[in-house]
Structure 1
Amino acid sequence: MSLLRDIQQSLMQEGSDIGPVLPKLRFLASRLGSDLLEDWVKHESEGYPSDIDVPEYRRLSVTYKADFSGAYGSGMQNAPIPPALIKKHCGDHWVNYKMRQSVAAIDSLLAGGESGILELDASNLILRLQGKVYQDMACNSVTGILSKAALVELQYAVRSKILELTIELEKNIPAAIEVTIGVTDNLSPDETKTVTQLTQQIFHGDVTNINSSGEANSRVNLNSNDSSTNISG
């Protein structure tokens, strides 16, 4: 069986994990000569480093709750904080969380516990929010809430995009169907360009210009204020 068809078959199996498919796709990417596709598979397998921007499907909405205390024993527990306030005083990256964990880590998070939410460690926001939510109350703790449903959607997005790529490769590059382990067939420069273009369009959605050397010039937005956040189930 060709590597492309093997990947498709694995994706179509009900209840199958995405993790075992990624090494096969990385090997296929190397045979197709696509560094862009190899990099995408590497990041999905090992996680996205802080200096690499994540694809749009890995940007997840986070809501927040906090505990407040006031005079004469008054206070509020688990009080919701409007996202607009978080964005204003702490930055957009706290509201739109960049999920950098590997696919395997996401699988593990979803497998653990029965709760439908995940909690983000947002203790760094306590000082930033002092006196900015309730002026007469002290902020004692802040917790970010991430829905597990959002992670399920992320998983589905990765699976769908891999399947879409294999279908487009099959349509546009017939030679890709012939790739098997142990057999090396070099693609033409035009075919390699097509692989890069398809990868950019499907996984990143940005416009890619292919120059005469076959290299891709892509739009990459880096967020220097990206935060490191711990997750617990």
Structure 2
Amino acid sequence: MVDTTKPEIVQLLRRINEGATNSQTPLGEVLRLCLRLGRLLNNKELSDWAKAEAGGYESANSLPDYRISGTEVRGTFLGPFGSSLSNVSIPQAVVEEDHRETLFTVYMTQPVGELEQLVGSSEGTNSLSVPWSGNTILYYQHKELIEGLGLNAAWKVLTTATIAGVLEVIRARVLEFVLVIEKELGIDMMNYYDSKTSLETPTQEKINQIFNTTIHGGTNIALGNPGTTNQHATHVQPGDLQGLKEKLAQLGVTEELLNDLDTALDEDADSQEQPGPHVKGWIGRMMIKAGQGTLQLVSATATTAVMAEVRRFLGLPPA
């Protein structure tokens, strides 16, 4: 580590700390400061993350888990003689299994500023609608989801509380990162400018460790080249069975279920369809256990993350 005085870093840490703890400070402003801090610390991971949060993510594949949420779906159905049902809940069970993850999950790729605007402009309502695509509606019009009625419209219900929760997660993780960096640097914010304390800049390995622990809860997200891999990669790489098992274990999948998945993957090795029937059966059993409470996953939306990682292992898009 190099012994040096970094007054700009100290000033940035103080401003980020104040912005993250003040809900009136736009998150975009806080993240721009984080981007600057990443440049000063010469830490690309922090800079890339702050840039993605402030400017939006390029695809659902690069999203951190806290920006992915399972949702309720509601729809309008029309029938003969002017009969109809409006704003009725559509259960996952009536939708083809391969479509469930896509149709019952919201991937929030928007910049934080846009998410803040969605929450701020939602007075009088506690939810937003994310419509199914026209092609999806057309496909399920030919399926009788409700006897005697045809699907006319369907939409995912994204609550403003969910969006607000995402924003609070970002604030909390930024604050935690700053506090740990301050401690690592040995900064006393109250007395730093009086003492003119020299700072020992942490190594990149240490900064990365702090970033991975505080921002992504012990994992890292691949924001750049999708072909780049490392031992902290958030998303499983195709064919990486050990990586899949480690990721699913992090999500709360038990060793017994991991062994069952290993067997299912072997049994489906020659299947023309992927995921194959045995892996689909494994996913179904996992979801049932989670629903019954006999499998304690790390969050209410972790089943979606489990299915996404299995698909990534198979070389398929997560949705």
TM-score range, shorter chain: 0.7 to 0.9
Q: Does 1:224 align with 2:236?
A: no
Which structure's residues are more often helix, by fraction? 2
Q: Distance in 1 between matches of 2:165 and 2:51?
A: 20
Given the superposition, is the C-alpha separation of residues 216 and 24 from structure 1 closer, same or farther in structure 2, using an over 3 Å criterion? farther
Q: Does 1:198 align with 2:210?
A: yes
Match of 1:231 in 2: none
Match of 2:16 in 1: 7
Q: Structure 1, unaligned stretches of length 5 or more? A: 179-184, 209-214, 227-233
Q: Distance in 2 between matches of 1:101 and 1:93?
A: 17
- 8 Å CA contact retained: 1:165, 1:199: yes
Given the superposition, is the C-alpha separation of residues 98 and 86 from structure 1 closer, same or farther in structure 2, using an over 3 Å criterion? farther
Q: Aligned match of 1:117 in 118, 127, 130?
A: 127
Match of 2:72 in 1: 63
Given the superposition, is the C-alpha separation of residues 86 and 186 from structure 1 closer, same or farther in structure 2, using an over 3 Å criterion? farther
Match of 1:97 in 2: 106
Q: Which is greater in Rg?
A: 2
Q: Which has the higher contact order (CA 8 A, sep 6+)?
A: 1
Q: Distance in 2 between matches of 1:14 and 1:79?
A: 36
CA displacement at 1:147 relative to structure 2: 0.2
Given the superposition, is the C-alpha separation of residues 49 and 105 from structure 1 closer, same or farther in structure 2, using an over 3 Å criterion? same
Q: Distance in 2 between matches of 1:36 and 1:12?
A: 23
Given the superposition, is the C-alpha separation of residues 89 and 135 from structure 1 closer, same or farther in structure 2, using an over 3 Å criterion? farther
- 8 Å CA contact retained: 1:55, 1:203: no
Q: Does 1:88 align with 2:102?
A: no
- 8 Å CA contact retained: 1:86, 1:95: no
- 8 Å CA contact retained: 1:89, 1:129: no
The residue matched to 1:136 in structure 2 has which SS?
Answer: coil
Match of 1:128 in 2: 139
Q: Distance in 1 between matches of 2:17 and 2:95?
A: 42
Matched to 1:39, the amino acid is: D
The residue matched to 1:108 in structure 2 has which SS?
Answer: helix
RMSD across aligned positions (CA): 2.7
Q: Distance in 2 between matches of 1:87 and 1:108?
A: 34
Match of 1:211 in 2: none
**88-97 or 143-152: bigger deviation:** 88-97
Matched to 2:233, the amino acid is: R
Given the superposition, is the C-alpha separation of residues 91 and 186 from structure 1 closer, same or farther in structure 2, using an over 3 Å criterion? farther
Matched to 2:148, the amino acid is: D
TM-score, with length taken from structure 2: 0.60
CA displacement at 1:78 relative to structure 2: 1.3
- 8 Å CA contact retained: 1:117, 1:146: yes
Given the superposition, is the C-alpha separation of residues 204 and 13 from structure 1 closer, same or farther in structure 2, using an over 3 Å criterion? closer
Q: 1:142-175: CA deviations, max 9, x gaps?
A: 1221100001111110100000000111122337
**148-157 or 133-142: bigger deviation:** 133-142
Given the superposition, is the C-alpha separation of residues 77 and 3 from structure 1 closer, same or farther in structure 2, using an over 3 Å criterion? same
Given the superposition, is the C-alpha separation of residues 207 and 19 from structure 1 closer, same or farther in structure 2, using an over 3 Å criterion? closer
The residue matched to 1:19 in structure 2 has which SS?
Answer: helix
Match of 2:186 in 1: 174
- 8 Å CA contact retained: 1:11, 1:159: yes
CA displacement at 1:196 relative to structure 2: 0.8
Which structure's residues are more often strand, by fraction? 1
- 8 Å CA contact retained: 2:75, 2:89: yes
Given the superposition, is the C-alpha separation of residues 86 and 202 from structure 1 closer, same or farther in structure 2, using an over 3 Å criterion? farther
Q: Distance in 2 between matches of 1:138 and 1:55?
A: 36
The residue matched to 1:204 in structure 2 has which SS?
Answer: coil
Matches within 5 A, 1:33-44: 33-44=42-53
